């Protein structure tokens, strides 16, 4: 089974959304995990915007990257420049993708714009996950 690891700094929003979408779209075809270089817990806004599209990520956990051995994965996706810079060297033979998405939790916006920022990133993550899964399905 193909194993995918989504990595961002806090493992609170982008990587959590990616894990949720990948689990939904891939079903049991892939093993999906996410991690953070400095995990801070799942962001409540990420949970909220995923619930808006009928996906429940509230049971997912924010795990440190150090708990994983990258050689156990077939594909690693970094979702921000910080995670890419902090990520250990990816072993040979592991497919690496980089999606430099903005951190909705770190954006400096008015409180009324926060949820919209999360929705925008959710949409970007969903499109990227669909494309990744299509590519991985074609090559396996």
- Among 49, 87, 121, 133, the active-site one is 87
Instruction: Give the H or E element holding residue 22.
Output: helix 14-26
Give SS3 for 8.
Answer: strand
CA 118, 9, 52: angle at the middle one, nearest 5? 25
Q: How many Å apart are CA 54 and CA 5, to the nearest integer? A: 23
Sign of CA pseudo-dihedral 57, 59, 60, 63: positive
Strands (E), 20-139: 30-36, 75-78, 95-98
For residue 75, indicate whether it is catalytic.
no
- Among 8, 32, 50, 129, the active-site one is 8
DSSP state of 106: T
- Among 80, 83, 133, 136, the active-site one is 80
Catalytically active residues are 8, 80, 87
């Amino acid at each position: 089974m193909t194993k995918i690891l989504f990595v961002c700094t806090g493992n609170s929003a982008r990587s959590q959304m990616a894990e949720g979408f990948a689990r939904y779209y891939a079903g049991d075809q892939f093993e999906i995990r996410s991690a953070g270089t400095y995990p801070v817990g799942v962001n409540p806004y990420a949970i909220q915007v995923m619930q808006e599209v009928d996906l429940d990520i509230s049971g997912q956990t924010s795990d440190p990257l150090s708990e994983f051995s990258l050689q156990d994965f077939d594909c690693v996706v970094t979702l921000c420049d910080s995670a890419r810079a902090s990520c250990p060297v990816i072993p040979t033979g592991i497919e690496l993708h980089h999606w430099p998405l903005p951190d909705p939790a770190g954006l400096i916006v008015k409180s009324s714009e926060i949820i919209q920022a999360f929705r925008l990133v959710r949409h970007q993550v969903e499109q990227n996950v669909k494309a990744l899964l299509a590519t991985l399905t074609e090559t396996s």
